[in-house]
Amino acid sequence: MVGIEVSELYVELNGNAVLRGITFSLGLGKVCAVLGPNGAGKTTLLRTIARFIKPVKGSIKILGRDYSSYSRSEFYKLVAYSALEVPRGFRFSVRDVLEASLYSYRLRRDEVDKRIEWVSNLLDIYRLLHRRIDTLSSGELQLVTLAIALVKKPRILLLDEPTAHLDIRHQLEVSNLIRRISRELDIATLVATHDIRIAIEYSDHILLIDRGKQVAFGDPNTIIESNILEKVYGVRISILRHGGRVAITASI
């Protein structure tokens, strides 16, 4: 089943065209990495699908239905958006924030506890549950923002730079986890990222955009070619594949 279907999407912000004609579809259980340089429109795309920004033109379908046909509560039970936006100036604990994110679900107390235990095991954040948000490091906060999205057990997951501020080990662990969870829970996951190597290794599809326009969409092994990346990023890029692994070098 198709999780996300975007057709001829146009978005303007402050009178400027930010997205122009974006078209792609993503099935449940699949991961799509959205690549592009700074200002390409990656975050705008995710925020538009999440109904934070209204498009000027085009259509967005979630699970086969126009995304505007869902009530607000219906929509946000299906779609979870995660970015490093958790306020850092208040005195709530990680557990408090996770519980609050489930408030509208009207779950029993034992079900809330089960979900928090599940996501804590999943992301290895047990040690953080009683920490205040404003005491977390950037890497810890990144894991918590991911937990806030996953604890809702959505069908559609929109992740904006989920491996930013993480060390190399945690980047790989989180990327592998996102792919595994997407498949096991049948989630359509859209990930905006700057990491070309992780996009190639851990995604089923890649959507490459530049200055709001779609450059390519498809399988990582066929879409990501040096000449395409060099044109988009304005640098010389070499891609080496060996034993299923990918090494990328870039130079000006």
Domain 2-251 has CATH 2.130.10.10: no
Helices (H), ranges, 151-206: 168-184, 196-202
* pLDDT in the model for residue 84: 65
- Pairing between strand 205-210 and 213-218? antiparallel
* pLDDT in the model for residue 235: 86
Residues 6+ apart with CB under 8 A from 184: none
Domain layout of the chain by residue ranges: 2-251
pLDDT along the chain (252 residues), means of 10: 97 94 98 95 97 97 97 94 69 92 90 95 92 87 90 95 86 90 95 91 95 94 78 83 72 79
pTM for the complete prediction?
A: 0.91
Would you report the helix, strand and coil content of the chain in percent, each value rounded to 5? Answer: 40, 30, 30
Nearest to 234 by CA among 33, 37, 102: 37
* pLDDT in the model for residue 136: 87
* pLDDT in the model for residue 25: 98
* pLDDT in the model for residue 88: 55
* pLDDT in the model for residue 222: 80
